[in-house]
Amino acid sequence: MLVSSSVWLLCAMAGLSHGAAVQKPLVELSDSMHLAGVTATSQSIEICSSPEDIFSPQRIDMNPDPPKRGAQLDVAVVGELSETVLDGAYIKVIVKLGIIKLYDGTINLCEEAGKIGHPCPIEKGHQEVFHTVDMPREVPPGKYDIDVKAFNNDDKPLTCLKIKFRM
C-alpha cells in the first residue's frame, strides 16, 4: 500500500489523478518550508526535481504528515506541466523500511492514472490535483524512505520526490 500511496502522490504531482477531492482541511502553509520556489507544507516530502523537469510543483500539501496507519492520506498538489504527458510515461519507485528494501520497480504511470478514469495524454498547463488514499492498518511501523522518479514516454524527467517518515 505504501507503493500505491507514493504512486498516487507522484501521479498527483504529474497532474494525472484529478480524483477524489480532499475531504479534510489541509495543514496550513509554513514559511519555513520553501524549496526552490516550491511551498511544501509536508515535512516528509523533499522535492528533488531540477528546473528542466516537465512538472514544476508550486505547492504540495500532505495530511496527516506523517501518514498514519488506518487513516486517510490527503494530498494536494499545484503546479505546471511544460509538456504533455504521453502514454508510456512511467514511475521508478524504491521503498525501504529501515535498511530493508521492500520494493524496487517501475510502474506504468498512464495505466495507473487510467484506473481512476484519467488516461494519458495529459495536456500541458496548470494543474491542481487533490487525491485521498486509505492507508491500511497492516502497514508495519518503522522508518520509511520512498524514492519516486517519474519520466515521460521519451525518458524525459517529469519530477522527483524523496518521501521520508516514521509510521
Q: What is the pLDDT along the chain (167 residues), one digit of tens a residue?
A: 455 555 555 444 443 333 333 333 333 333 333 334 455 557 899 989 899 999 998 888 899 999 999 999 998 888 999 999 999 999 999 999 999 999 999 999 999 877 766 689 989 999 877 888 899 999 999 999 999 999 999 999 999 999 999 99
Per-residue pLDDT, 26: 31
Backbone angles phi, psi at 71, to 5 degrees: -120, 165
Residue type present at position 46: E
Report the alpha-carbon distance of residue 11 to residue 18 in Å, rounded.
9
Query: Is residue 75 within 8 Å of residue 68, measured between CB atoms?
Result: no
3-state SS assignment for residue 59: strand
Only one residue has cell 524527467, namely 157
Backbone angles phi, psi at 43, to 5 degrees: -80, -15
